[in-house]
Amino acid sequence: MVSDAAPKLATYTDLLALPEDVRAEVLGGEIVTSPAPLPKHSKAQRALGSFIGRPFDDDDGHGGPGGWWIFIEVDVQLGPHDVVRPDIAGWHRERLPDPGDRRPIDISPDWVCEILSPSTAVRDRVSKRDLYAKHAVGHYWIVDVEVRTLEAFEFADEKWVLVGSYDSTASVRIPPFTEVELAVGRLFLPHTEAAQEP
């Protein structure tokens, strides 16, 4: 006998039931998993967390522009069947006044950065990009550690608008963090001789 019952859509409760060492998200009601990041991915994530997080979060009231919370890999619930864990995400503090024990955070970020890896590149460029637009995330950055680039998008007029594409030679001020200059090359591990060979 064939059942006509619709498949059950996954929620945050299903994520909580997974083993703690499983890196997973819920996209469109489906649980998707990712492997642990490679060192080159982790380097870019940590560097951005420092170059953006330090002046806009850590130094709030201590000489930096401040005004933001910058978090690495926190659970963000965009809908009952969409729970993401961005590589880095940021919120204006007035929109998220008390984030300490919130899990998942149920307020859309003002900025998200995803760092591409072979297993997540299509998801980050298509599914999650569309999802972030649907929930009016203000800014979306995509860092590609393989080709050493950063793409920045701004959500305007109900669509993503490319602010700029930058390679590792660029030092730029990118919205929404134009108060500081970002040396894009510092996001990446140094070139090795093997990596420079054609």
Half-sphere exposure of 143 (CA within 13 A, CB side): 24
CB-based contact 34:42 (threshold 8 Å): no
**Is residue 20 pLDDT above 90, yes or no?**
no
In a domain, 185, yes or no: yes
- Residue 157, by phi and psi: left (phi above 0), alpha (psi -120 to 50) or beta? left
**Is residue 2 pLDDT above 60, yes or no?**
no
Structural domain tally of the chain? 1
Which neighbouring-strand residues pair with 166? 150
**Which range among 54-63, 89-98, 189-198 shows the weakest confidence by mean pLDDT?**
189-198
Domain housing 144? 36-196
Percent of the chain with pLDDT over 70: 94
Distance of alpha carbon 130 from the chain centroid: 13
List phi, psi (to 5°) of 39.
Answer: -55, -40
Mean pLDDT on 165-194 = 93
In a domain, 100, yes or no: yes
**Is residue 1 pLDDT above 80, yes or no?**
no
In a domain, 13, yes or no: no
Give the largest Cα separation in the chain, rounded.
Answer: 68
Mean pLDDT on 32-45 = 93
Of residues 131 and 59, more confidently modeled:
131
In a domain, 29, yes or no: no
Specify the pLDDT at position 119.
87
114-143 b/e (C-beta count within 10 Å ≥ 16 → b): bbbbeebeebbeebbbebbeebebbbbbbb
In a domain, 26, yes or no: no
- Give residue-wise pLDDT tens across range 186-196: 999 998 754 44
In a domain, 189, yes or no: yes
Cβ neighbours of residue 22 closer than 8 Å, sequence gap 6 or more: 33
CB-based contact 149:125 (threshold 8 Å): no
99 confidence band (pLDDT: 50, 70, 90): very high
Mean pLDDT on 63-91 = 96
| pTM given for the model | 0.91
Specify the pLDDT at position 197.
43
Q: What is the CATH number of the domain that holds 69?
A: 3.90.1570.10
| Other CB atoms within 10 Å distance of the CB of residue 152 | 23
What's at 87, amino acid-wise? Answer: D
